[in-house]
Copies of this chain bind each other. A is one copy, B any other.
Amino acid sequence: MVGKAIAFRLNELGHHVLLGTRSVQETLEKPLKAGQESMASWLATATGIQLATFENAAAEAEIVFNCTSGQASLAALQAAGTKNLAGKVIVDIANPLDFSKGMPPTLNPVNDDSLGEQIQRAFPESRVVKTLNTMTATVMVNPTLLRGPHTVFLSGNDTSAKEKVKELLSQFGWKAENTLDLGDITTARGTEMFLPLWIRMWGALGTAQMNIHIQR
């Protein structure tokens, strides 16, 4: 859902988008549950977006968005290939939600590590920027859907990578005053550990169409 939302919006903004997957053919032929839209039908609505293997998508990319399930992110990025990711910005939107102990999910890693840090350690030649992981997909790519100001956070070790990501956020509709750089990639612990509160806000409010604004 997050990958489709990001891909659709980037494509709409004129960027060339490859959607990485383990197997293009399996993704196109995947049996659907009731109410699900096939990938082929979705692709028909988003002219310009192409499916590719993780490897081919990463090889061609200037910027890579990690929109995979948090527990699968490292494997997906390994499939993309260290050399295909070297020197590139990895925008990490995933959260390390662990559903193995039931609902609501817990986090793994948590507290003294984060998925953002794990990815940066696993791909030291890439420049990881954690962002957008504190809200639902529709709000990520269209912040003006909400009635007033609200905040997006960034974490990363590389200032120029964060500048590049801020420029994309600005294209999505994020104003500079609502974009908060928390510091290096260890600050991803903060935004990932917000998820347990976000999930409970979602439950209490009955909608995911919301985000937090920092009131001063």
Interface residues of A, Cβ cutoff 8 Å to B: 101, 106-107, 110-112, 146-150, 153, 180-183, 187, 189-191, 193-194, 196-201, 203-205, 207, 209-216
Contact = CB atoms under 8 A, between A and B. Distances in A.
**Chain copies in the assembled complex:** 2
Closest 8 CB pairs between A and B? A190-B197, A150-B215, A190-B200, A212-B212, A213-B213, A213-B215, A190-B196, A193-B196
B204 A183 contact: yes
A197 B214 CA distance: 12
B210 A216 contact: yes
Given A180-B201, A196-B190, A197-B194, A215 B216 contact: no
Contact of A209 (B106, B200, B212, B216): B216
A215 B146 contact: yes
8 contacts: A147-B216, A180-B204, A182-B200, A183-B203, A190-B196, A190-B201, A207-B216, A212-B212
A30 to B, nearest CB: 33
A215 B147 contact: yes
Nearest to A211: B215
